[in-house]
Structure 1
Amino acid sequence: MIKIELEICNLTKQYKDKTAVDNVSLNISPGVWGLLGANGAGKTSLIKMMVGITGHTSGKILYDGIEIGVLKEAYRDILGYLPQDFGFYPEFTVVDYLKYVAALKGLTKNHTRTKIDELLQILTLAEVWKKKISRLSGGMKRRVGIAQALLNDPEVLILDEPTSGLDPGERVKFRKFISEFSRDRIVLISTHIVSDVEYIATCNAIMKDGKIISKGTTDELVKTVEGKVWESIIPPEQLAYYGKVVRIVNILNEKDGNLFIRYLSDTPDIPDSKQAVPRLEDLYLWLFPQEETRKEKI
């Protein structure tokens, strides 16, 4: 097995009076990596440097020990990238756009045909392959974006908010595919939808104010909020009061009319509260109290 590694060494990005990325270091090995953080944490700035779109103020990025600026085309050949907003000409059909991207990536015609057919099936786009991208739903456009990132069978796949616009069923399929695809490859998913990476990530890095403030497996990270996650049942008329006292992260209606609530606190501030097993979403909301995560409704 060929060992691959993407090393981020003391990377900093300064925009005039703002430091978007502040002395970040990460050694990224094969598997799924989650890059978690609220909007404005610096995730997209970090990713743009990792894919070579923007330069860095200081530090370096190495692929297999060589700076990506030295590798140039050789690095781009093994890279797949989905930005938050990928561009396309309005008149492009799905298949024409994928052929266009394949040509830019230097794929042969035979490889292009085979790969596009495969991705259309995997990403459930076969029925819309002749449709103009501009007429597709947000979720389908996102799937086209994922497809273009996968055309060259990349060794390093970097996805910025990949499931934005996908419905819960599509997100489940996406996670299953990425989990299988990541064998012997590096997949980095930047997101604030915690469920995208909670169960499939080999490792998660949490970014806040341009810094990596924590890194580890999901099990390692959630230990931060052990003893701080509680569950209780309250009458609905008490919700407004307790909503000011504790940080409520989930509410469910009980059959008897009461409310089951999950909340974050150093102490059990609601009578008859029981400690709950912490999840990655609990940690996220503990670290980013003003940020709302998107929950799946299944």
Structure 2
Amino acid sequence: MTLRFNDVTQHYGRNQVLHGVNFELGQGVIGLLGPNGAGKSTLMRTMATVMPPRGGCVEINGTPVTDERIARQARSQIGYLPQEFGYDPGMRVIDFVEYAAWLRGISGSRLQQVTEKALETVDLTEKTGVRMSKLSGGQRRRAGIAWAIVGDPSIIILDEPTVGLDPEQRIHFRSILKTIRNATVVLSTHLTDDVEAVCDRVLVLNAGKITYDGGVPELAARGHAGLPGETALERAYMDLLPRAERSA
């Protein structure tokens, strides 16, 4: 499965958010870094076919997504976790994740099988019968991750998935990502250590434009000691941002 952006632009009202974005993503874990307001969430909503591009074209597995019918077909292979995701507070955890599998066209005996597998992966097996409203923030975030990965979609898009997770849970989340190698996984985060730990490639987005697209070691190698930051990768990332963003 491939995900390609061809000169994609995106707007909110009259404000242009994405400016001629181009890339092609294949299998592996791709980190997406960028400051607040860079357009990361808009980029991910466009990837997930939630927002049709204002200009340019999104292609999924070589097929341009040009209408809602094609977008619906594409979504059956996309697992998308927004930073703020909705849920029915009275819905049980197992029903929440099972509904995601059903939306991807999974039915019959396989529906229960893939749901239980996703919940086991995020360590929520003992919470299957609990209402979503009764979960802690970290548990709810893990339920969201299960929603995104259930049924092994070919494209998994995760917007700040480690928000609300404690250090132990973040380490477990990284271990989950390391097992997903037959999919295109896009991980938006502010945490360069997550990118360094699990990503094969990193995109840096600033002011709606891609300012870096390449390997994580190659980016880290640019982070010389004279730059602000605690690690080489953090220093290199900060050096890609305008001076105003560095001091914000």
TM-score by length of 2: 0.91
2:246 counterpart of 1:289: yes
Larger Rg: 1
Conservation of the 8 A alpha-carbon contact between 1:36 and 1:205: yes
**For residue 137 of structure 1, what is the amino acid of its counterpart?**
S
Higher relative contact order (CA 8 A, sep 6+): 2
What is the CA deviation profile of residues 19-64 of structure 1, one whole-angstrom value per residue up to 9, with x for unaligned ones? 1111110111110000101111100111111111112111111112
Match of 2:43 among 43, 46, 59: 46
**3-state secondary structure, aligned to 1:141:** helix
**3-state secondary structure, aligned to 2:221:** helix
Conservation of the 8 A alpha-carbon contact between 1:11 and 1:22: yes
**For residue 234 of structure 2, what is the amino acid of its counterpart?**
E
Farther off after superposition, 281-290 or 59-68: 281-290
Shift in Å, 1:227: 4.3
1:22-41 to 2 correspondences below 5 Å: 22-41=19-38
What is the CA deviation profile of residues 77-105 of structure 1, one whole-angstrom value per residue up to 9, with x for unaligned ones? 11111111111111111012122232333
- Unmatched tracts of structure 2, length 5 or more: none
Among all aligned residue pairs of Structure 1 and Structure 2, give the percentage whose two residues are the same amino acid: 33
2:223 counterpart of 1:280: no
Match of 1:69 among 52, 66, 71: 66
Structure 1 CA distance for aligned equivalents of residues 104 and 154 of structure 2: 14
**3-state secondary structure, aligned to 1:56:** coil
What residue in structure 2 maps to residue 15 of structure 1? 12
What residue in structure 2 maps to residue 108 of structure 1? 107
**3-state secondary structure, aligned to 1:86:** coil
TM-score by length of 1: 0.77
Match of 1:205 among 197, 203, 206: 203
Q: How many residues align?
A: 242
Structure 2 CA distance for aligned equivalents of residues 114 and 96 of structure 1: 13
2:144 counterpart of 1:145: yes
Structure 1 CA distance for aligned equivalents of residues 247 and 144 of structure 2: 30
Structure 1 CA distance for aligned equivalents of residues 195 and 110 of structure 2: 31
**For residue 246 of structure 2, what is the amino acid of its counterpart?**
P
Conservation of the 8 A alpha-carbon contact between 2:2 and 2:60: yes
Shift in Å, 1:224: 2.6
- Unmatched tracts of structure 1, length 5 or more: 230-246, 251-277, 292-298
Conservation of the 8 A alpha-carbon contact between 2:225 and 2:232: no
**3-state secondary structure, aligned to 1:157:** strand
TM superposition outliers: structure 1 runs of 4+ over 3 Å: none
